[in-house]
Structure formats: C-alpha cells, structure tokens
Amino acid sequence: MKQNDHTIFKISWRNIWRNRLRSSIIILAVTIGIFGGLVSTGIMKGMVMGLINNSLENQTSHIQIHNKQFVENNEVGFLMNKTDKLLSKISKEPAVKSVCERTKTFGMASTASKSAGIMVNGIDPVREKTVTGIWKKIVKGGGTYFESNKRNRIVISEKLAKKLKARIKSKIVITFQDYDGNLTGASFKVEGIYRTQNSMFDKQNVFVRKTDLDKLLNMPSHSAHEIAIVLKNYKQTGAEVERIKRLTPDYLVQGWPEIDPYLQVSASMVDFMLYIFMLIILIALGFAIVNTMLMVILERTKELGMIMAIGMNKFKVFKMIFYETTLLGIIGALVGIVISAAFTLYFGRYGIDISIVGKGFEAMGYGTVMKPYLELTDYFQVLIMVIITGLIASVFPTIRALKMKPVEAIRD
C-alpha cells in the first residue's frame, strides 16, 4: 500500500471504532449471515458429497464399459467379448487404480414364502473388492462376503432379506433367462447380508460369483456385461474416458457423470446454492451496511467537508468510505468464516446424527450421519462476494458524501 493509501486506510479503520456499538452490531449481523449461509451450504454440500462418494464407491465407480445395446436393453445377449484382454490393457493405464468385470442379468428371487425382482451381479470377489466397497458393508452378524469357496453362494441386502424372509444359510431360488433365451434357475445359499446407504440400490442388487452365473447363463468364455473402473483420482475421469475409448472403440465407455447425471447435477447445484444463499444474505446485509454508512456520512458532514476543502479528492473520499464499508463486511465475514470452518471441520469429522429425522434421506441414498463439507474455494468465494458487496454498498454513501459542497458543510 502506498503511504497515501495507508493514511486513508488508517482513518477508515479508526472510524469504524468511533461508534463501537453500531459497528459491532453490523459486524455481528454479517457474522451471523455468513455463518448461516456457509454452514447451510456446507451441510447440503456434505450430504451431496456423501451421496456422490457412496455412489462412486458402491455403485457406479468412475468409469463403466458396456455393450451399447446392453445399456438400452439389459439382455443377456448384449455382452462384451475378450474381456480378459481388455481388462489387462485397462489395468496398465497409469491413471487406473483397479478394474473388474461383471455379468449382469435381471431375475426373480424366491423363497418359500416371497419373491422379488432383482438384478443379479456376477462378480469376481477378489477384483470386485478392489473396485466397490460392498464387502465392507456386510451387516453385523450378516455372514461373510464370498469367503466360502463353495458353489452358488449369494450376498443379498438386508432389505431384500427382510422382504424374502431370508437369513444366513437360507436358500434362495433365482430364475432368469439364459444366453439362449431359455428360462433357467438355480438355488443359492445366502452367505452374506449387506447394507449400503442407498436403499433403492439395496432393494435391487444381489451378488453371486461370476463363474457360477456364467455357467447358469451359458455365457461364452471371456465375456461380461459390465466393466467397472476406479481411478486413482476421480478428477481424471473425463480424460481417462477418452483414453479408454481409444482402447475399445466398439463399446460404450462412460464416466460417472454420464452414468448417473443426477450426481453431477447435484454437485453443481450445491455450488450454485452457495451463490444464491450468499447473494440473498449479502443483499440483506448490504442494505444494513448502506444504511449505517449513510448515517455515518450524515454525522460526519463537517469533517468530510473540511477534508475535501483542504484538498482530498473524490477518489480518495470514495476509497475512505469503501475501506470503512468493506472492513465492516470483511471483519464480520472473517469471524463468520472462522466459526463456519470450525463447525464444518468438527462436524465434518464427527458428523451430526440425523437418524431421528433421516428416514427419508436414507431412501434417497443420503447417509443418516450428516457431515458438513466445505472447500477452501468456498470460503474464498464468500470473501470475494463480501468485498464486492462492500464495493457496491460504498457507492451510495460516496455519492451522498460527494454531493456535499465543502463550503456548506463547513459553515456553522
């Protein structure tokens, strides 16, 4: 800062503390407003990030590959061939952390008393564990995740278990159409019961060994319906999709935003919400600040007249008012940001239990423990918005100040 500016800044800063009560009230209002805006955005963002992470971890992964027709119509026949070669090529990609393949088919699961439509996922448990986290989601006393090497084992969700009245070691009969279009079925023994935070997903998905399912479906060897890939960094999704497309031009390669557009939309919605929230809060605060500053200008008519008379130009008068206005906002914003950051860090770590009110959330795939989440850029954006508000809010008081004629201001 030039020494010139330094003096003006010093005046502005000290002017704030001339009326401590009034300034404190404005600063407190800004603090509360910023805290409210940031924390509510943080909570929403945390929920959405939780949803996205859950989905990426348990369902979509970062990239999936399918036969184009399979995506439109999940028929057993629309499969991908020579997947063994493809998998090894993909594994060699530097950005790829892990990859797995699945056989998938719709089917009907029945026990003695009940039946339900399901998606049967034929997986290779060893590879699958490196891609999805379902194996970590086995409920207490809910058996194991393909630890037994016996044939025809199945892992189902707690939800489905309840519906089918099935337990560990229960027999479930699964019927489906095989590769040749014949209706076929087999009996599976429940080995594990899992629960993710997305009950919609849970209701539908059961897991069996790919080798078991392939045999039943009569699948050609080295074929699969789905390849799922996890990257070392999810931010590389877009670039890696392009690279894998070149490896396998015939099949449909999709990144998670394309597989589940809702996730992507939710993420950008929350960022947008921050703007909207902050905009509304800052407009309200802006009015309060403008009002305060107009009062200030009125009180200091003579002083301002004198300053302009002795040679302070209009731009410097504006700067003086701008600094004071913006400092009011920035002090409040910084306090608000510090409190919000503390809140977000603490509850982001330990979570807020919303299970009492959270029944509906769980069905939508959100967790029952709320973990607010904010990024450094969110705080910066808020600070910049506060400064812009200060800039806009200083315009009216400055106009008022500059309208005064020094002669009239000075006259008794």
Question: Which of 21, 94, 250, 412: binder of another protein (CB under 8 A)?
Answer: 412
* Residue of 331, 304, 324, 287 whose CA lies nearest to 24: 331
- Give yes or no for a contact between 174 and 108, defined as CB atoms under 8 angstroms apart: yes
At closest approach, how far in Å is the CB of 369 from another protein?
Answer: 51
At closest approach, how far in Å is the CB of 309 from another protein?
Answer: 6
At closest approach, how far in Å is the CB of 288 from another protein?
Answer: 23
- Binding part of the chain for another protein, among 47-55, 127-135, 265-273, 404-412 by CB under 8 A, reads 404-412
Give the residue carrying structure tokens 């209009």: 314
At closest approach, how far in Å is the CB of 386 from another protein?
Answer: 24
* Residue of 324, 328, 329, 331 whose CA lies nearest to 297: 324
Question: How many residues appear in the chain?
Answer: 412
- Binding part of the chain for another protein, among 83-91, 93-101, 299-307, 370-378 by CB under 8 A, reads 299-307
**Would you count residue 86 as binding another protein (CB under 8 A)?**
no
At closest approach, how far in Å is the CB of 313 from another protein?
Answer: 5
- Binding part of the chain for another protein, among 3-11, 52-60, 245-253, 269-277 by CB under 8 A, reads 3-11
**Would you count residue 18 as binding another protein (CB under 8 A)?**
yes
At closest approach, how far in Å is the CB of 241 from another protein?
Answer: 58
At closest approach, how far in Å is the CB of 28 from another protein?
Answer: 22
At closest approach, how far in Å is the CB of 55 from another protein?
Answer: 57
Give me the phi and psi of 80, to 5 degrees please. Answer: -110, 140
Tell me, by CB under 8 A, how many residues bind another protein.
28
Sign of CA dihedral 391, 392, 394, 399: positive
Question: Which of 71, 252, 279, 410: binder of another protein (CB under 8 A)?
Answer: 410
User: How far is it, in rounded angstroms, from Cα 203 to Cα 49?
Assistant: 22
- Binding part of the chain for another protein, among 236-244, 310-318, 349-357, 380-388 by CB under 8 A, reads 310-318
**Would you count residue 10 as binding another protein (CB under 8 A)?**
yes
Give me the phi and psi of 355, to 5 degrees please. Answer: -65, -25
Q: Copy the structure tokens of residue 244.
A: 């894998």
Q: How far apart are the first and last CA of the chain?
A: 36
- Backbone conformation region of residue 222, classed left if phi is above 0, alpha if psi is from -120 to 50, else beta: left
**Would you count residue 299 as binding another protein (CB under 8 A)?**
no
At closest approach, how far in Å is the CB of 15 from another protein?
Answer: 6
- Other C-beta atoms closer than 10 Å to the C-beta of 226 total 23
* Residue of 222, 205, 214 whose CA lies nearest to 179: 214
- Backbone conformation region of residue 181, classed left if phi is above 0, alpha if psi is from -120 to 50, else beta: left
Question: Which of 114, 162, 235, 314: binder of another protein (CB under 8 A)?
Answer: 314
**Would you count residue 407 as binding another protein (CB under 8 A)?**
yes
- Binding part of the chain for another protein, among 45-53, 64-72, 309-317, 386-394 by CB under 8 A, reads 309-317
Q: What's 185's DSSP letter?
A: E
Give the residue carrying structure tokens 């959100």: 366
Interacting positions 113-172 with another protein (CB under 8 A): none
* Amino acid sitting at position 410: I
**Would you count residue 312 as binding another protein (CB under 8 A)?**
yes
Please say which residue, 113 or 313, places its beta carbon nearer to another protein.
313
**Would you count residue 313 as binding another protein (CB under 8 A)?**
yes
User: How far is it, in rounded angstroms, from Cα 369 to Cα 352?
Assistant: 5
User: How far is it, in rounded angstroms, from Cα 132 to Cα 120?
Assistant: 16
Please say which residue, 160 or 304, places its beta carbon nearer to another protein.
304
Question: Which of 94, 249, 311, 360: binder of another protein (CB under 8 A)?
Answer: 311
Please say which residue, 51 or 304, places its beta carbon nearer to another protein.
304
Q: Copy the structure tokens of residue 389.
A: 């508000």
Helices (H), 205-313: 210-217, 237-247, 256-259, 261-299, 301-309
Note the residues at the interface with another protein (CB under 8 A).
2-4, 7, 10-11, 14-15, 18, 302-303, 305-314, 316, 405-407, 410-412
